[in-house]
C-alpha cells in the first residue's frame, strides 16, 4: 500500500510548515465560509418570503382591473377601473368552486384621531376578507354584510396604526377621521408582520368597500377582487371560469386582450421566490469567487513547495519513487489543505449565519445541501489547483532534481 505511505508523507509535510498550511487553508476557509453564509442568508430570505406568501391566505386568486397586454404594454393593475361590484357579485353567484369573495379598494390617506395624525393604507373590503386572509381580530368584531349594505362608517384597524394613533389605549369605540370623515373603530386586528414586498401589513385601516367607495374615494369601480377557491385542486378551474365569466360580462371579443388580470397565489409566489432565488444565486456566485481565489492560493503555495523540495523529489525518485507516487504526494497535500479548509470553512459559515441571525436579525437557513456541495467543491478545488504543481513535480528528471541547489 504505497498510497498510505504517500498520504502519511503528505500530511507530515503539511505539519512541518504549519504557518504556511494554515494561511493557505485560510483562503479556502474564507471562500467556503462565505458561500455557506451567503447561501444561508439567501435561503433564509426565501423561506421568509414563502411564509409571507402563506400568510396571504389559502387558495387565493386576485383579479386586478387593467391588463398586461399581449404586446407587452402594461396599463398597470387597478389603473383602468374596469371591475365593478356587480362583477364580484356575479363571481359569487355563478362560479361554484368559490368560497369567498371580497371586492377591494385601496388608497393611502391621512387619518386623524384626537390630535394624532398618521398615513396608513386604507383598504375597502368585503366581510369575507378576514376569513380569506385568515386574519383574526384580537379585539372587537369585524364589520358585517349589513355594514356593507348601509356603507356604514365603521373601521377595523391594524396593530401598527392603532399604536400610532392611540398608543397603548384600546382603540375599540374610538373615532378616526379618514379624509375628515369620522369612522368608528369596531375591531383590532392581530399582527401579521411584513408582506412579500416588505411593507408593514399591520399599518392598515379596513373599512367596508361600499363605505370606501361612497364616503372616502368617491369611486364607482374596484381596484381588485379577492377570490378564494374552496379547494386547492379547483384553483385552475376556478381561475379559468373567472376569466370566461369576466370576459363575457365585459363583452370582450374573442382574440382581444382581457381588461383585467387574474393572478393566482401560485403566480405571486413564483414571482417572489424567483426574486429571492436570483439573490441567492448572485450571493453564491460572489462568494464562489473568493473560493476560486483560495484555490489559486493553494496552487501558488504548491508551486513554491515543489520548487523548494526539488531535491527531495530527486532523492525519492532516485531510490525508486515513480512519477505517480510524487504526483499523489503533492496532490494529497493540496486536497488535504483544501478539504480541511472546507470543513473549517463550513463551521465558520454556519457560525457567521447564526451570528447574523442573532445580531442583525436576518433570517438565515442552513440546509445540508450547500454544506455537502461546499465540502466536495473545496476538495475539487484542491484537485483542480493542486494537479498542475503535482504534475510538474512528477515530471522532474531525477538527475536535474538531485543537482538542484
Q: How far is the CB of 324 from another protein (least distance, A)?
A: 8
In this complex, which beta carbon is closest to another protein, that of residue 154 or of residue 393?
393
C-alpha cell belonging to residue 389? 504543481
Q: How far is the CB of 347 from another protein (least distance, A)?
A: 31
DSSP labels, 77-89: TTSS--B-HHHHH
Q: How far is the CB of 399 from another protein (least distance, A)?
A: 5
**CB crowding 152-191: b at 16 or more within 10 Å, else e:** bbbbbbbbbbbbbbbeeeebbebebebeeeebebbbbbee
- Which residues inside 381-400 make contact with another protein, applying CB under 8 A? 398-399
In this complex, which beta carbon is closest to another protein, that of residue 265 or of residue 329?
329
In this complex, which beta carbon is closest to another protein, that of residue 363 or of residue 398?
398
**Residue 61 gets which letter from DSSP?**
E
Site string for another protein, 343-382 (x = CB under 8 A): ----------------------------------------
Q: How far is the CB of 395 from another protein (least distance, A)?
A: 10
- Which residues inside 1-20 make contact with another protein, applying CB under 8 A? 1-2, 5, 9, 16
In this complex, which beta carbon is closest to another protein, that of residue 5 or of residue 358?
5
Give the whole-angstrom CA distance, residue 110 versus residue 182. Answer: 12
Considering only 207, 312, 335, 337, the residue that binds another protein (CB under 8 A) is 312
Q: Which of 173, 174, 156 is nearest to 116 (CA)?
A: 174
What phi, psi does 120 have (nearest 5°)?
-90, 175
Site string for another protein, 313-332 (x = CB under 8 A): -xxxxxxxxxx-x-------
Which H or E run contains 103?
Answer: strand 98-108
In this complex, which beta carbon is closest to another protein, that of residue 153 or of residue 316?
316
Q: How far is the CB of 19 from another protein (least distance, A)?
A: 15
| Sign of the torsion angle spanned by Cα atoms 57, 60, 65, 68 | positive
For residue 140, the SS3 value is strand
In this complex, which beta carbon is closest to another protein, that of residue 49 or of residue 396?
396
For cell 379547483, name the residue. Answer: 234
Q: How far is the CB of 334 from another protein (least distance, A)?
A: 20
Give the whole-angstrom CA distance, residue 261 versus residue 61. Answer: 10
Residues in contact with another protein by CB under 8 A are 1-2, 5, 9, 16, 311-312, 314-323, 325, 398-399, 402
Amino acid at each position: 500500500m504505497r498510497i498510505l505511505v504517500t498520504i502519511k508523507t503528505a500530511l507530515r509535510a503539511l505539519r512541518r510548515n504549519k504557518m504556511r498550511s494554515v494561511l493557505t487553508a485560510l483562503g479556502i476557509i474564507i471562500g467556503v465560509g462565505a458561500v455557506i453564509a451567503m447561501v444561508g442568508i439567501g435561503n433564509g430570505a426565501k423561506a421568509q418570503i414563502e411564509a409571507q406568501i402563506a400568510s396571504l391566505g389559502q387558495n387565493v386568486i386576485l383579479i386586478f382591473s387593467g391588463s398586461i397586454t399581449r404586446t407587452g404594454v402594461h396599463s398597470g393593475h387597478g389603473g383602468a377601473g374596469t371591475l365593478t361590484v356587480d362583477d364580484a357579485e356575479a363571481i359569487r353567484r355563478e362560479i361554484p368552486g368559490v368560497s369567498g369573495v371580497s371586492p377591494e379598494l385601496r388608497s393611502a390617506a391621512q387619518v386623524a384621531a384626537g390630535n394624532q395624525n398618521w398615513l396608513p393604507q386604507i383598504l375597502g373590503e368585503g366581510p369575507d376578507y378576514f376569513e380569506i386572509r385568515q386574519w383574526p381580530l384580537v379585539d372587537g368584531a369585524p364589520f358585517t354584510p349589513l355594514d356593507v349594505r348601509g356603507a356604514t362608517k365603521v373601521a377595523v384597524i391594524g396593530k401598527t396604526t392603532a399604536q400610532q394613533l392611540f398608543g397603548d389605549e384600546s382603540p375599540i369605540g374610538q373615532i378616526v377621521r379618514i379624509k375628515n370623515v369620522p369612522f368608528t373603530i369596531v375591531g383590532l386586528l392581530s399582527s401579521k408582520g411584513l408582506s412579500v414586498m416588505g411593507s408593514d401589513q399591520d399599518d392598515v385601516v379596513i373599512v367596508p368597500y361600499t363605505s370606501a367607495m361612497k364616503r372616502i374615494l368617491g369611486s364607482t369601480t374596484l381596484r381588485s377582487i379577492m377570490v378564494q377557491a374552496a379547494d386547492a385542486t379547483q384553483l385552475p378551474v376556478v381561475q379559468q371560469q373567472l376569466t370566461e365569466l369576466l370576459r363575457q360580462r365585459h363583452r370582450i371579443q374573442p382574440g382581444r386582450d382581457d381588461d383585467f388580470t387574474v393572478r393566482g397565489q401560485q403566480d405571486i409566489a413564483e414571482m417572489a421566490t424567483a426574486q429571492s432565488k436570483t439573490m441567492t444565486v448572485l450571493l453564491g456566485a460572489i462568494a464562489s469567487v473568493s473560493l476560486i481565489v483560495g484555490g489559486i492560493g493553494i496552487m501558488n503555495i504548491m508551486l513554491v513547495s515543489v520548487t523548494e523540495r526539488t531535491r527531495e523529489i530527486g532523492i525519492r525518485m532516485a531510490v525508486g519513487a515513480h512519477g505517480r507516487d510524487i504526483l499523489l504526494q503533492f496532490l494529497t497535500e493540496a486536497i488535504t489543505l483544501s478539504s480541511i479548509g472546507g470543513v473549517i470553512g463550513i463551521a465558520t459559515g454556519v457560525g457567521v449565519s447564526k451570528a447574523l441571525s442573532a445580531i442583525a436579525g436576518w433570517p438565515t437557513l442552513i440546509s445540508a445541501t450547500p454544506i455537502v456541495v461546499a465540502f466536495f467543491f473545496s476538495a475539487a478545488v484542491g484537485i483542480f489547483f493542486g494537479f498542475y504543481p503535482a504534475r510538474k513535480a512528477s515530471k522532474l528528471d531525477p538527475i536535474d532534481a538531485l543537482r538542484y541547489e
